[in-house]
Copies of this chain bind each other. A is one copy, B any other.
Amino acid sequence: MNTNSKGTETRAASVRTTSFDVAALAGVSQSAVSRAFTPGSSIKETTRQKILDAARKLNYVPNSIASSLTTNRSNMVAIILGSLENPFYVHVLHAFSQDLQRKGRQTLTFTLGEGMGTDEAILRVLQYQVDAVILTSAQLSTRMINLCHDRGIPVILFNRYIPHSGAYGVRCDNVGGGRMIADAFLAAGAASFMMITGDPNGTTSQDRVRGFVERLLEAGVRRDAILDYPGRSSYDGGAAAIDMHAETGKPFPDAVFGIADIMAMGAMDTLRIRYGKRIPEDIMVAGFDGIPESARPTYQLTTVSQPMAQMVAETIELLHLDDAIKPLDLIQDHPLPGEMIWGATVPRR
């Protein structure tokens, strides 16, 4: 059971300093020590600093796990991520992690993949008694949402929604953004179109496609002048979509809409390098998301930027982390408008 601090050790817990030891050294009450380590508690900063100094001297660390049994709060928020191949979700993860840490919470990360679907992830999430679940992936059964809600764990969908599920979330106006891109192409004189789409089960891709196609049809474009190819929400998928079209032997359309920036970037590189196309002279390209990568000088992609910081802040607000009593209204659904970013890949007017 002995441990040493150099090389080898066993996993047994050693005897621990208690909050009473820290209180004695700092000259405060035990409850003040407890407050000093509870996110959002009211305590004077000088007192908190005195307690932290004493804790440091005594190597004291509060046991969040034990206290979560009495408070029913683990101070962990689960974030369930699909692929990280789309940098948008890397930026999302980073923003949530930083914002939650600032609020004294930690991020328990679940990445979907073989052997871990969303429902499996939610079952695991429940085992860890997280305070809330942020879900950025497409699928989630209504049964699983109910299982979380029955335990008082809010599920917030980030940048998607599940119709008739009782769970909505914070998202960008994807339909409206799709229409903006259609308008930009039309104003630039495009008459034939190609979409590179993402997850066919995800509302994000569906809504962007819907807005784009609706607007084109309204403007008199024929449905058969709008091609679509799957792009798997990745750079490689965007590149492969261009190859797929080239293999049909048909000419390239006037304009390509990558449903996510990362797919538009893959398409641009392939159009230029493999097919010798100039952008926008020979073919226009636009994306959606506004990731920093798409603004790099090689791309300067025309795109619709999602208000990510605002979406992250609103999601965290919806969680009511500091207010466990307040009932959560989880049937919110208020898409935030995206912003048109004019790069160099679509001629302006």
On A, residues with C-beta under 8 Å from B are: 3-14, 37, 59, 61-66, 68-69, 72-74, 76, 84, 87, 90-91, 93-94, 97-98, 101-102, 106-111, 113, 115-116, 123-124, 126-129, 145-147, 149-152, 154, 166, 235, 269-270, 273-274, 293, 296-298, 324-325, 327-331
Q: With A126-B61, A127-B63, A329-B7 in contact, do A108 and B106 touch (Cβ < 8 Å)?
A: yes
Q: List 23 A-B contacts (CB under 8 A).
A: A3-B150, A3-B151, A4-B149, A6-B166, A7-B329, A8-B330, A9-B327, A10-B152, A11-B152, A13-B152, A61-B147, A64-B127, A65-B74, A65-B129, A69-B69, A76-B108, A76-B128, A84-B91, A87-B87, A106-B128, A107-B109, A235-B296, A273-B298
> In angstroms, how far is the closest chain B Cβ from the Cβ of A276?
13
Copies in the complex: 2
Residues of B within 8 A of A147 (CB): 59, 61
Judge whether A72 and B8 touch: CB under 8 Å: no
In the bound complex, CA of A61 to CA of B235 (Å)? 38
Judge whether A61 and B123 touch: CB under 8 Å: yes
Judge whether A94 and B102 touch: CB under 8 Å: no
Residues of B within 8 A of A3 (CB): 149-152
Residues of B within 8 A of A13 (CB): 72, 151-152
Residues of B within 8 A of A327 (CB): 8-10
